[in-house]
Homo-oligomer: A and B are copies of this chain.
Amino acid sequence: MRELAPYLRIKEDLLDRVRSGTWKPGDLIPGEQRLAEQFGCARATVHRALRELAEEGVLERRRKAGTRVARPTSRSVAFDIPLVEDEIRATGARYHYELLEREIAPLPPAEAASLERATGTPALHLRCLHFADRRPYQLEDRWIDIDTVPEAVDVDFAAEGANGWLVHNVPWTDAEHSIHADLAAGEIARSLNLTDGDPVLVVERRTWNDKGPVTTVRFHHPGRSHRLRTAFVAR
């Protein structure tokens, strides 16, 4: 396919009309039938181009009402949140992992709420430290639901990180993420080799299964040095 596929050429063409302002937000654009005639192709081909542009948020389509240029409102931004070890190795640094703590303990209120269990329900609690070239890179504080994932109790997590083990052994179906900034203090500061009062970037994640809540985890990163990035994204 030396030349672009027709539906891709049509996408580009339509996108250019939006980008150049030929078609402005809110404008009604020609129907599929009409565009198919103009481009000299089947309606299905135009349809695919239009459908993908709508999925990307460039157009809005409604039956009978036709297709309009979307009014730019919110735009979703996709961040890659890979396994820490992959992330670290991708930078060329040596990855190293340390298990700080592993216990079955009663869920504290926040984590209980997160897993939708009663406070005090026993769960598997892990604290791990991930190093890049011997420098602390990420502190992981995780609770695993032992009702949903009973087999986790028999894993010692000394060699493989909990994240890796879960990803490879316990498929999840749903996830929720949250990001905020906080200050390093006590344990967290010491583990990350920071001073009390240094900024930390906190990423929280909860995942679910068909069976129920799987895990809730908080990742702490040194705030100034660590960045979450998107790739350079063409719209």
Which A positions have Cβ atoms within 8 angstroms of B? 18-21, 25, 72-83, 86-87, 167-168, 171-183, 197-202, 210, 221, 223-224, 226-235
B82–A177 touching, CB < 8 Å: no
- How far is B58's CA from A172's CA once the two chains are assembled, in angstroms? 12
Chain B residues with CB under 8 A of A226:
180-181
Output the nearest chain B residue to A21 by Cβ-Cβ distance: B171
Given contacts A79-B77, A210-B19, contact A72 B167 (CB under 8 A): yes
- How far is B180's CA from A226's CA once the two chains are assembled, in angstroms? 6
Number of copies: 2
- How far is B199's CA from A200's CA once the two chains are assembled, in angstroms? 8
20 contacts between A and B (CB under 8 A): A18-B171, A19-B210, A21-B171, A74-B80, A74-B87, A75-B82, A75-B175, A77-B79, A78-B78, A79-B79, A172-B235, A174-B232, A174-B233, A174-B235, A179-B179, A181-B181, A181-B202, A181-B223, A181-B224, A201-B201
Q: How many Å from the CB of A120 to the closest CB on chain B?
A: 25
